[in-house]
Every structure is written in C-alpha cells, then in structure tokens.
A = this chain, B = another copy of it.
Amino acid sequence: MEIITQVKEMQKRVEVYRNAGKSVGFVPTMGALHEGHFSLMRQARKDNDLVIISIFVNPLQFGPGEDYECYPKDLDRDRELAEEVGVDIIFAPPPKEMYPQTSSTFVEVERLSEGICGRDRPGHFRGVATVVTKLFNITKPHRVYFGQKDYQQALIIKRMIEDLNFDMEFVLMPIIREEDGLAMSSRNTYLNQREREQALILYRSLKKAEELLDGGERRSEVILEEIREMISKEDIAQIDYIGLYHPETLAEIETVEQEALIALAVRIGKTRLIDNLLWRKKSG
C-alpha cells in the first residue's frame, strides 16, 4: 500500500491504472477509521481492481465553533488498518495542496442541502460537495462508496453525480453499529463513559419510532412527541433536530404512507451525534 500526498501524482497514477483497463473504487474519509469505513472499503475491494481511499479533514465543511481543530487524527493507525482491509492507495493531501489561497470555486446542491443537518450547519454541504468533486477529479473512480449513517450527505452526493454527469457508480452501504446499537462514528471517541451510555438514546429513539410505525401509527407528530419525551429523560442529551422525512426529497412528512426516513441529531454533552433509520411498510 502507498500513501500519495500530491494531486498531480495521484491523477497520473490512477490514469495509468485506468488505461490498463483496471476498475477503480474510491472511499472518501476524514480518517479516524472505524468499522463503518471498513465496510465500504471491503465492498470496494470486492468490486474493483484498485481501491483508493482519501484521508482529508476538509476545513470547508466545518463551521465556526465546530470541531475542525480537534477532529481525531491518527494516520499511522489508519494506515495499518486500511492496509489490512486491502486498500491499495491512501490519498492524504495537506490542506494547502487541496486549497491553495486563490481557490474560489464551490459546488452547491440546492434544496437537498437546505433542511435537516443543513439548517444546523450552514455551508456544511457546500463544503462537502466541493471537496468531493475535487476528490472525484483527483482519483477518477469507476465506483464510489458512501455510508447511510450520513444519509443526507449520501443523497446530496448521489444527486450531484447525476446532475454534473460524473461517470461513476454510486454505492450506498448500510450503517454499522456497535453491539449495543450505537452507530459507528469517529466522533464517538469524544464521549466519556456517562456520555457513551446516554448516546444509546439515539438508536433507542429510532427503534421506538420503528415500533410505532410497525404498529400502525402514521401521524409523525405523535411519533415525534413520544421520542422527544424519551430523549428529555436523558439529562445530558439535547435534540438538534428529529423528524420524519421523504427518503428522496427530504421533505418533512406529516402522515407516513409507504416509507419514511427517521433522522435525528442529538448533542450528548458537547458531542453532536447523528443517526437514522429507513422505514418501509412491510408488504402482505
């Protein structure tokens, strides 16, 4: 396995593989790798001749007061783990290589970027769409892999690929959870023991909503009221948002019909965690 830090070198290298008829799979990450990331890499390994991942903590997608400065970094550990999973190339550029001072081009996916996390984090998805466009142009993959944990992000990138005619296949992979249900996230490392326990409320909320939907409840407000009450019992948990959304448009749903995305962001102490569950009416 190799680490490449320069844009031009990465482009030259991948071009050689492509011209030799090799298929290229790409997994963008911000490092601090966990089982969620590995599940994407393993799928990329199965589907492609060459697997590239990027490790780049993208300043453009963090807002003021967010955790850009202290986002967990451990390239040595990431490198070892990525190699075990069978990654061929890690693209790990320094920030100046990705954003020289003159940079002033941005990619925006309207509508989908506005609600849910986009409301709490203005400019976040613009930063994501811009860096992902750059990474696609640098790693030139045939297939790209994103996790359902960041559902809105995945939907935005999928739309962007379609709208801007990127010639690549988008692959969405399921959420990977700890044994007790907590969704894997690099930010889980921020949690102390008490916070770690209360963080379970995210998944428990989603399961509660699922149970109510399975039981025939269709009114979003009734479902959300019940969940809000559950969460309010955790003394250090604070809701950023919680809602039922159309899985394609992310429009809020009042009355659930065939399917719904249940999504939430909750602050556990200072750590903002997100989770979601895609509910579909069981047939028959």
Contacts and interface: CB of A to CB of B under 8 A. Distances in A.
Contact of A140 (B19, B129, B160, B167): B167
Contacts of A109: 104-105
Contact of A111 (B18, B104, B129): B104
A106 interface: yes
**Which of A138, A140, A165 has most chain B Cβ within 10 Å?**
A165
Contact of A105 (B11, B102, B138, B164): B164
A165 B7 contact: yes
Contacts of A11: 165, 167
Nearest to A98: B165
A162 B15 CA distance: 18
A193 interface: no
A15 B140 CA distance: 12
**Copies, count:** 2
Contacts of A106: 107-108, 110
A170 to B, nearest CB: 14
Contacts of A164: 105, 107, 130, 133-134, 137
Contacts of A138: 165, 167
A112 interface: yes
Which of A103, A137, A138, A160 has most chain B Cβ within 10 Å?
A137
Nearest to A105: B163
A166 interface: yes
Interface in A153-180: 159-160, 162-167
A21 interface: yes
A146 to B, nearest CB: 16
Given A18-B19, A19-B19, A108-B108, A103 B163 contact: yes
A256 to B, nearest CB: 23
Contacts of A167: 11, 15, 137-138, 140
The 7 closest A-B pairs by CB, nearest first: A105-B163, A137-B165, A104-B110, A11-B167, A134-B165, A103-B163, A105-B109
Given A103-B163, A104-B109, A107-B108, 5 more contacts: A15-B167, A19-B21, A102-B162, A104-B163, A105-B163
17 contacts: A7-B165, A11-B165, A11-B167, A18-B18, A19-B19, A19-B21, A102-B159, A104-B109, A104-B110, A104-B159, A105-B107, A105-B109, A105-B159, A106-B108, A130-B164, A134-B165, A138-B167
